[in-house]
Amino acid sequence: MEQMRRSSKLAVILHADVVGSTTLVQLDEDLAHERIQDTFRRFGDTITKYQGRVRELRGDALLAEFERASDAVTASLAFQAEQVELIAQLNDTILPMVRVGNAMGEVIVADNTVTGAGVVLAQRVEQLAEPGGVCITGAIHEALPTRMPFDQEDLGEQELKGFDERVRIYRVELKAGESIPPPQESGQDEASSKRRRLIAFVAAIAVVVAGGAAYWFKPWEQREETASVERMAFPLPDKPSIAVLPFNNMSDDRSQEYFSDGITEDIITDLSKISGLFVIARNSTFQYKRMPVDIKGVARELGVRYILEGSVRKARDQVRINAQLIDATTGGHVWADRYDGRVDNIFELQDKVTRRIIAALSVQLTAGEREEVTRQETGSTDAYDAFLRGWEHYLRQTPQDFAKAVAHFNRALELDRAYGRAYAALAATYWEVWKRFWHQDLGLPLAQHEPRYRAEQFLVEAMENPTPLAHQVASAMLLHQQQYEDAIAEARRAIALDSNDADSYIALAAALTLSGGADEALEWIERAMRLNPHYPGYYLYQLGLAQFNRGTFDEAAISLEKATAINPDDRWSQRLLIATYGSLDRNEDAARVLEAVEQRGSRGWLNAIDPLTVTSSAFWLPFKEPEDAERLAQGLRKAGVPD
């Protein structure tokens, strides 16, 4: 009887599984099971719509069969698009991301069970897909009609477990600006398909005429949901506003992520130089890295109209950049394009993307901006690559990463002795090492000011080809030397070079606050926070310091509590918070923070050099006005800190 229900045939197989399902279950077993079941229920509905048949559901995996390769691939992409939108609405970490593999091979059907080489092949292909991605075999690639709106990227021949011969694999994505094809009935020819689409179109037009809502009656056209201007977290600026999301690293080598991040940051930097644009800072846009993107949500949170997103693929000496610009208020694509070239032409590719954005937004450039946008900081792609590797470590802001960053920056300078950005990065790194007492982590003598001397030397070189970062470091150094007017001037020069660099505004605010201009400093901090809505803790420290100097201690306490929550190891935010609590007679709160500081003081050498006393805190900061230093000292004394 069993033999009569068995048959062998060639079939298109779809295999999908949930990435990291075990971890999800460990986080919240009931919720994870519920979401995985819902995921496969919806995937099953999509498969059915595209003439497929779900054969098996095994916990965190799904197996389906199709007659046509086009139906299997389209169903896969349609589901992944739906899943990304759903996950973007979730506010926890139980996020069931799915990988999908499509293969063609011989299978054995017994009752409703499918086995055979085709099934195993689909499983192996699925394991090569990225979370949220779709991979197919060469046979599926050959079977897809050329009219299908898919980008198929050749990943080469792959060794697959259980198969003697290597199998060519392709990564499939929907082409930028295209819509996912609707389901078609099995067996229909091209003429009847066109006729059905024409009938659907005419019917939709009839509905439009009758109901006056043309846009909403285009079910075949996929569009982003719109972001309501009224619901923006901030009022839209009076000029085009844009956020550049981190470009996805589509390279086979995950270690190439520094390269895609660097491309993103350089596009942000180039756009930031244009006074006619409002550009969100890197720190805020990179908050969305590795997250499913809800365009309208991002635009609403950042208060911008336009979103740029894309991907970078680097393979040997070839680079491909995909980019699309979306108007979040309409949900439509302003443009989408692909840029192919060699690694040694990467600057030209970046320039093309930047110029396309400028043209699309009809921004008029000044003569100086036209020159600045096209100016290259280095002509060496190897030096640029070394710098990007170092910058990736610098941004992590740990002593271990600083040590690695220094090595890469030095390598960049070996390749290009005139690379101003690399000199500025070294100056910034060593200055931070000196301020944070990270000498030992970089193998530097603690008793001397070696990091400070190195920072000063590198800054001199950086000023030969200055960048905003170089002027920011110069401002900080001059401020420490109590050269207040010069520190303010350097910060203003940084802003003049890049009016969208939020850190330059913070540098100016720091100089103003310590020189007695706390009221004006607050205005610049507000500008910085608007450009960088997901601002880091040191923005809040500067805000708290300005508020403290103005005597608005209640406001300062709120800002500094947030700063210490973001970074519990921030010594200066803690000290200023203790003084703020002392000024407010909140002695219990002050005692709590004091105890926390003492508990974290396990590095005895640091405590010996920088003890928590009134003198080392209030009079180490370079206040210009004696009353500002005394205000801080008095707050610390009232909180119980010894002189």
- Over the stretch 594-616, which tens digit does the pLDDT of each residue have? 887 776 654 444 454 556 666 66
Return the pLDDT at 93: 79
Residue 119 pLDDT > 70:
yes
User: Using one digit for the tens of pLDDT, what is the confidence trace for 456-505?
Assistant: 999 999 999 999 999 999 999 999 999 999 999 999 999 999 999 999 99
Return the pLDDT at 78: 95
Distance CA(43)–CA(59), nearest Å, equals 14
Residue 347 pLDDT > 90:
no
Q: Which two tokens stand for residue 188?
A: 């229909």
Q: How many C-beta atoms lie closer than 10 Å to residue 579's C-beta?
A: 28
Return the pLDDT at 619: 66
Return the pLDDT at 200: 42
What average pLDDT does range 166-192 have in this prediction?
76
Return the pLDDT at 21: 80
Written as one letter, the residue type at 605 is W
Residue 333 pLDDT > 60:
yes
Find all residues with CB under 8 Å of 165, minimum gap 6, and list them: none
414 — pLDDT class (breaks 50, 70, 90): very high
218 — pLDDT class (breaks 50, 70, 90): very low
Strand 318-327 to 248-249 pairing: unpaired
User: Using one digit for the tens of pLDDT, what is the confidence trace for 514-560?
Assistant: 999 999 999 999 999 999 998 888 899 999 999 999 999 999 999 99
316 — pLDDT class (breaks 50, 70, 90): confident
214 — pLDDT class (breaks 50, 70, 90): very low
Return the pLDDT at 343: 87
Return the pLDDT at 4: 40
- Tell me the range of 209-218, 545-554, 624-633 where mean pLDDT is highest: 545-554
Distance CA(345)–CA(339), nearest Å, equals 11
H helix or E strand, kind and range, residue 105 = strand 98-110
User: Using one digit for the tens of pLDDT, what is the confidence trace for 631-642?
Assistant: 988 998 898 888
Find all residues with CB under 8 Å of 28, minimum gap 6, and list them: 92, 94
Widest pairwise Cα distance in the chain? 98
Return the pLDDT at 187: 44
27 — pLDDT class (breaks 50, 70, 90): confident
Return the pLDDT at 7: 59
Query: How long a stretch of residues is the chain?
Result: 643
Q: Kindly report the average pLDDT of the chain as a whole number.
A: 84
Model pTM score: 0.64
Residue 122 pLDDT > 90:
yes
Q: Which residue has the tokens 């977290």?
A: 233
348 — pLDDT class (breaks 50, 70, 90): confident
What average pLDDT does range 167-196 have in this prediction?
72
Q: Which residue has the higher pLDDT, 291 or 355?
A: 355
Return the pLDDT at 109: 74
Return the pLDDT at 128: 92
CA distances from 85 to 88, 293, 369, 382 (A): 5, 8, 38, 39
Q: What residues are paired with 66 via a beta bridge?
A: 12
Return the pLDDT at 192: 44
What average pLDDT does range 373-384 have in this prediction?
85
Which of 313-327, 402-416, 550-564 has the weakest average pLDDT?
A: 313-327
Q: Which region holds residue 545: left if phi is over 0, alpha if psi is between -120 and 50, else beta?
A: alpha
Distance CA(431)–CA(248), nearest Å, equals 32
User: Using one digit for the tens of pLDDT, what is the confidence trace for 128-170?
Assistant: 998 889 999 999 998 898 889 999 998 888 888 878 788 999 9
User: Using one digit for the tens of pLDDT, what is the confidence trace for 249-292?
Assistant: 877 677 788 898 999 999 999 899 898 999 999 989 988 887 76
Return the percentage of the chain with pLDDT > 90, whole number.
Answer: 42
Q: Which two tokens stand for residue 179?
A: 């819509």
Residue 566 pLDDT > 70:
yes
Burial profile 227-260: b = 16 or more Cβ within 10 angstroms, e = fewer: beeeebeeeeeeebbbbbbbbbbbbeeeebbbbb
Return the pLDDT at 43: 95
Q: Which residue has the higher pLDDT, 364 or 252?
A: 364
Q: What residues are paired with 326 via a beta bridge?
A: 307, 333
Distance CA(621)–CA(519), nearest Å, equals 18
Return the pLDDT at 202: 40
What average pLDDT does range 427-448 have in this prediction?
79
Which ranges in 375-483 belong to alpha helices (H)? Answer: 381-394, 399-415, 420-436, 450-462, 468-480
Residue 194 pLDDT > 80:
no
Find all residues with CB under 8 Å of 208, minimum gap 6, and list them: 214, 217
Residue 199 pLDDT > 70:
no
- Tell me the range of 100-104, 118-122, 391-395, 599-603 where mean pLDDT is highest: 100-104
Distance CA(327)–CA(232), nearest Å, equals 14
H helix or E strand, kind and range, residue 377 = none
Residue 197 pLDDT > 60:
no
